[in-house]
Structure 1
Amino acid sequence: MGAGFTGLVAALTLARGGASVIVVDTVEPGFGASGRNGGQVIPGLKDDPDTLDRVFGEATTAFAGGTADLVFSLIDELGIDCDPVRGGWIQASVKHLHLPRLESRMAQWRARGAAVEMLDPAGMAAATGGRGFVGGWIDRRGGSVHPLAYARGLARAALQAGAEIFRDAEAVSIKRGNGGWVLGFASGARLTADQVVIATNGYTGRLWPGLKATVIPANSIQVATAPLPDDLRARILPGRPVVSDSRRIANYFRIGPEGRLMMGGRGAFREPRDAADYRRIEAALASFYPEAARLPMGFRWAGRVAMTRDHLPHIHQPSAGVTMALGYNGRGVALASAMGRAIGAHLLDGANPLPLALSAIKPMPVHGLHPLYATAMIEAYRVRDMLER
């Protein structure tokens, strides 16, 4: 269930392996954050590789390091027209205090063979054309895609492999029956399956008890300028890397289709209503790129990402025949794609390991109040970000 990156890559993998596959989505493929994210293809997890080795083992670290490779290999193999650019990912910093941590992270990935390097202020200025960066590092495994085009390309590939995809299919119940699982839909339709994969991430509802309360659905808001004129295009992100800064409440940006400068960041928990809801992110764009900020804003949009308490994704199998994966914490293009591949391979052959140990479903206390306490936490993080040098 869920026709985002996880569900679609799992469906493609299963269909290619000879399974009979049906994908259902409440709206349509790519409707959620899979189609409305910033298009940044970032390898790794939030934790550094040494930590991943210690807590999960080297296989998990290798999985995390290869997630971007998987995305670009799928695009090449399937011929998906989604503006793929492998210009690298830059983790930039406006804080001197953050640089030792970034250098340690870079060195850990370098020790594992990744094409990475530190960037000093001059290197950051040349690579980004932006103001205020005191340093950072670049991971050349990363890049960008047009996320909705990528999702639709995955959907076409899954269909060609023999999967069926149904849109406007809201699942409202799941129970055992007929030797498997019976899904009930708002339309009154019923579907019986031996295996069910629930991959709804930031749009998770109440279908499975407690699952919704394991993540905080946060709006990631974004803007895109009018196409940059040639002089700015030559200076702003000339190699087309994707960039995110190292603050707790980070901004991220890249050059998008038609040469537009795109910037995103954390928004309110309610859905944006008008241009006023994007003022903070437009102010951030102006601080980094004042010349580009004078251009009209061509687009404003939002998508709901799923944040977890430990900043890690989770895989649950609460009952035989049911697998769930969610909580990509803003790295969903690469991570969700790789998770879908791993789940599909595991369901075809249990000897294929899952990339993370299974975890129990642990709802957050008073989850219904998350807009209040998460907003308070975000504002506290903003204050800490401002106080650091």
Structure 2
Amino acid sequence: MTPSQFSCPVWRRPDRERIVVAPVRSREVVDLVIVGAGFQGLSTALAAARNGLVVRVVEARDIGEGASGLNGGQVIPGLKYDPEWLIARFGEEKGERLIDFASRTADAVFDLIEGEGLDVEYLRNGWIQAAHTHTAMDNAEERTTQWSARGADVTLLNASDIALMTGAHGYLGGWLDRRAGVINPLAFVCELARLAIAAGARIATNETVTDLRQESGAWTVLLSGGHSISARAVLVATNAYSGRLVPGLAQSIVPLHSFQIATAPLSEAQQEIILPHGQAVSDSRRILVYYRKSPDGRLVLGGRGRMSEPQGEEDWDHLRRAMLRIFPDLAGIPVERRWFGRVAVTPDHLPHVHEPEKGLLMVAGCQGRGVGLMTAMGPHLATYIETGDRAVLPLPVSAIHPIPLHSLRQIGVAAAIAWYRLLDSLEK
């Protein structure tokens, strides 16, 4: 079996008309070129086109074949860090602004789905961060306290609460963030593309950007098909799929593979016990697993996989073992789907906004919150591209800092994942 046979997620594509793509046929002149048609690129394209900009999107694959269509569809607000840490890092004014933005990222997704009537299955019943140790439980209590003080709809869960809400084994408690939820990510990215096209953006798929050149105050975007585009601004929305287009960008992040499995549909009795109210769950282990139910009643479970592309079904065996640790009663249920995508992690676990040259913009690093984060960033990026006012960006613009010995860093990450997985297995 080849790796391409393991890119068949359980998610349904929308039942609307096909997305009408517009290949680049000659030299075009536009206001904005967006490289990458994922959540970040399409959300920005939609906002920019509605603001009156002439927008061209160039995607190297088909819509939904990158991380946006291959992820778990968990819509989680906030960032990896809690409010008080962000204020200590960024200061009172910038920290509060970032906290306010981060607290509303899930709203951006669900408001768009509901307001536009998108053909996207979704459920906004919250996200549970499950604690498997007393230290993790203390962290959950502190996180609940900090967000509760800011008016967020969050609740601390004890062992009985989390057992009833998840049907899972091995947790001491956790916390529930009711602002969160789940969506069909493939349907959402396809519907974002449809909205952007309806707003006037043009999207070319299966076309690779080979070079970016700044000439006479404008950017020339060269394409693999031999054509080119001239633009005032370029947004490189490639995140973990960044190559050599922007010097140092790919070396400033660590790309990791997120593997996922989906079981056969659960029985009615299993549905009543496992996630009966449809929340998403992430656990507190060093190498965490995350899980939810799909719209057709399957258990979908994901986590870190091997650094290289998978070669066979056995590369997902660690996820099945994790599933049986959490839900031992599922021993007899078959795994029917396996797939993987790529995610970007930054050294400080924060999203980074870069503008290495005027008119060349990018955001990288989601740390598991890409659905909400990148959807919410789009309108801010569009406004900044239009006005040039950095005050509209919720995150500061920073220089690109390549990770020293980046190629060796990936070997180290693989070793660290194996070590952390061993430590996790020893914890009860």
Same fold (TM over 0.5): yes
Q: Does 1:79 align with 2:113?
A: no
Structure 1 residue 386 displacement after superposition: 4.3
What code does the residue aligned with 2:79 have? Answer: L
Q: Residue in 1 aligned with 2:36? A: 2
Tell me by how many angstroms 1:97 deviates: 2.0
Q: Aligned partners of 1:86 and 1:287: how far apart in 2?
A: 27
Contact 2:257/2:343 (<8 A) preserved: yes
The answer as to 2:390 corresponding to 1:356 is no
Map residues 324-339 of structure 1 onto 2, 5 A cutoff.
324-339=362-377
User: Which stretch of structure 1 is more off in the superposition, 176-185 or 271-280?
Assistant: 176-185
Give the C-alpha shift of residue 381 in structure 1.
2.6
Label 1:205 to 1:34 Cα distance change in 2 as closer, same or farther (>3 A). same
Q: Superposition pairs for residues 283-362 of structure 1, below 5 Å?
A: 283-351=321-389, 353-362=392-401
Q: What are the superposed Cα offsets for residues 345-382 of structure 1, whole Å, 9 maximum, x if unpaired?
A: 22223345111111110111121233311112222333
Q: Name the counterpart of 2:21.
A: none
Q: Which amino acid aligns with 1:32?
A: G
Quote the offset at 1:272 in angstroms.
1.4
2:237 to 186, 189, 199: 199
2:24 match? none
* Equivalent residue runs for 1:144-183 within 5 Å: 144-183=182-221
Which residue number corresponds to residue 32 of structure 2? none
- Please give the alpha-carbon distance, in whole angstroms, between the structure 1 residues aligned to 2:330 and 2:42: 36
How many equivalent residue pairs?
Answer: 389
Task: Provide the C-alpha distance between the structure 1 equivalents of 2:235 and 2:183, rounded to a whole number of angstroms.
Answer: 25
Does the 8 A contact of 2:45 with 2:57 survive in 1?
Answer: yes
Residue 372 of structure 1: aligned partner: 411
Match of residue 105 from structure 1: 143
* 1:124 counterpart = 2:124: no
Q: Distance in 1 between the 2:362 and 2:211 partners? A: 15
The residue type equivalent to 2:181 in the other structure is G
The question of whether the paired residues in 1 share the 8 Å contact of 2:251 and 2:406 is answered with: yes
Give CA deviations for 1:311-370 in whole Å, capped at 9, x if unaligned: 111000000001110111121111111122221122223345111111110111121233
1: CA distance, partners of 2:332 / 2:381: 46
Q: Quick check: 142-151 or 23-32, which moved more?
A: 23-32
Unaligned runs of 5+ residues in structure 2 are 1-34
Pairs within 5 Å for 1:195-274: 195-274=233-312
SS in 2 for 1:138: strand
Question: How far 1:178 sits from its partner (Å)?
Answer: 4.8
Equivalent residue letter for 1:205:
G
Q: Does 1:381 align with 2:420?
A: yes
Task: Answer whether contact 2:124 2:182 (CA < 8 A) is retained.
Answer: yes
What SS is found at the alignment partner of 2:122? coil
Picking from 74, 87, 99, the partner of 1:40 is: 74
What amino acid sits opposite 1:25 in the alignment? E
Q: CA deviation at 1:123?
A: 0.2
Equivalent residue number for residue 12 of structure 2: none
Find the counterpart in structure 2 of residue 12 from structure 1.
46
Please give the per-residue CA displacement for 1:245-297, whole angstroms capped at 9, x wherever unaligned: 01121000000121000100000111112110000011000111122342111
2:392 is paired with a residue of what secondary structure?
coil
User: Which 4+ stretches in 1 moved above 4 angstroms?
Assistant: 386-389
1:194-227 Cα offsets, whole Å, 9 max, x none, are 0000010111111111111011110000000000
Partner of 1:88: 126
Report the residue type matching 1:123 in the other structure.
D
SS at match of 1:323: strand
Q: Which stretch has the larger CA shift, 376-385 or 240-249?
A: 376-385
Does the 8 A contact of 1:42 with 1:68 survive in 2?
yes
Distance 2:264 2:388 in 1: 49
Code of the aligned partner of 2:44: A
CA displacement 1:48-95 (0-9 Å, x = unmatched): 111112222100011111100111001112211121110100000111
Aligned CA RMSD, in angstroms, stands at 1.2
Q: What is the CA–CA distance in structure 1 between the aligned matches of 2:148 and 2:310, rounded to whole Å?
A: 40
Contact 2:157 2:174 in 1 (8 A): yes
Measure the CA separation in 2 of the matches of 1:48 and 1:80.
32
Give the Cα separation in 2 of the matches to 1:388 and 1:128.
20
* In 2: Cα distance, 1:98 partner to 1:226 partner: 32
Partner of 1:324, secondary structure, is: strand
Say if 1:178 and 1:192, in contact at 8 Å, map to a contact too.
no
Letter in 1 for 2:344: A
* Worse overlay, 26-35 or 312-321: 26-35
Supply the distance in 2 between the matched residues of 1:211 and 1:167 (Cα, whole angstroms): 23
Which of 101, 105, 108 does residue 63 from structure 1 map onto?
A: 101
Counterparts of 1:211 and 1:231, CA distance in 2: 49
Structure 1 gaps of 5+ residues are none
Question: How many Å separate the matches in 1 of 2:39 and 2:414?
Answer: 28
Separation (CA, whole Å) in 2 of partners of 1:224 and 1:292? 12
Amino acid of the structure 1 residue aligned with 2:60: T
Find the counterpart in structure 2 of residue 52 from structure 1.
86
Moved more, 97-106 or 258-267: 97-106
